[in-house]
Structures are given as structure tokens and as C-alpha cells.
């Protein structure tokens, strides 16, 4: 049985580029390892320069660097609202089940669950 953790997952995604280390806690067997494995499978193989390129295309990054040249150092924190809007564009993929998270709902409907 798959337990949906959509709100928790979206909350985690919304904080992905805030520059802080994330600590996932929870009771035993609540899905901590499951979430981390999917994050590592998704982003682990990507080179650091490519991850940097990807993050610099996010609207939150663009807004925080408004008015700065490519080589200028910025000191404006990314807006939480901008980060949340960026996170809404993400369609998380589950590597263990080989499907997108929103497809689980479709599968459950087909199976009558």
C-alpha cells in the first residue's frame, strides 16, 4: 500500500534552493529513506555545474539577482514565495516505481482503490 505524502513532499521541494541543509526526521517506516533515495536517483548523477545551471534558470534565482551582472556577487536571499512558485513547476518522479507521483492517483483509480 502506498501512503501519499504529497503535502510533506511539496513542503520539502519548496525549500530546495534556500541554501540550508535539510534534515528529514520522522517515526520509523514513515518514508524518510524512500524520499531520499528518489532525490539521490534524480539529482545524484547530475554534475555540479549542470545542477548550478539548472538552479540559475529558476525564477527565484533570477529575481534575487535582478540588476546584477553575470560576474557580480549578489547578497539578496531568495524569496520564499519565489521558491514555492518554482517548486510548483516540479513534477517529482519515483524511480522505484518508474512513474511520476501524480500517476499514482491515476493507477489507484484504475485499480478501484
Give the model's pLDDT for residue 90.
78
Give the model's pLDDT for residue 32.
81
Distance in angstroms (rounded) separating the CA atoms of residues 14 and 85: 8
Angle among Cα 79, 81, 82 to the nearest 5 degrees reads: 65
Give the burial class of 87: count Cβ atoms within 10 A of its Cβ; 0-12 exposed, 13-18 middle, 19 or more buried.
Answer: buried
Angle among Cα 55, 60, 62 to the nearest 5 degrees reads: 80
DSSP H/E element including 93 = strand 93-94
* Chunked mean pLDDT (size 10), the chain, 113 residues: 65 75 80 80 87 89 91 88 84 74 62 60
Which 8-state DSSP code applies to residue 40? H
Phi, psi of 94 (to 5 degrees): -100, 110
This prediction's pTM:
0.53
Give the model's pLDDT for residue 107.
53
Do 101 and 9 touch, CB atoms closer than 8 A? yes
Give the model's pLDDT for residue 92.
77
Amino acid at each position: 500500500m502506498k501512503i501519499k505524502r504529497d503535502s510533506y513532499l511539496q513542503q520539502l521541494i519548496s525549500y530546495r534552493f534556500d541554501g540550508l541543509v535539510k534534515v528529514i526526521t520522522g517515526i520509523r517506516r514513515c518514508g524518510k529513506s524512500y524520499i531520499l533515495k528518489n532525490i539521490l536517483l534524480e539529482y545524484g548523477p547530475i554534475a555540479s555545474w549542470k545542477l548550478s545551471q539548472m538552479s540559475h534558470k529558476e525564477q527565484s534565482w533570477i529575481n534575487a539577482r535582478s540588476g546584477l551582472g553575470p560576474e557580480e556577487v549578489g547578497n539578496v536571499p531568495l524569496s520564499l514565495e519565489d521558491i514555492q512558485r518554482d517548486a510548483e513547476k516540479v513534477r517529482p518522479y519515483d524511480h522505484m516505481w518508474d512513474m511520476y507521483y501524480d500517476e499514482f492517483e491515476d493507477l489507484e483509480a484504475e485499480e478501484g482503490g
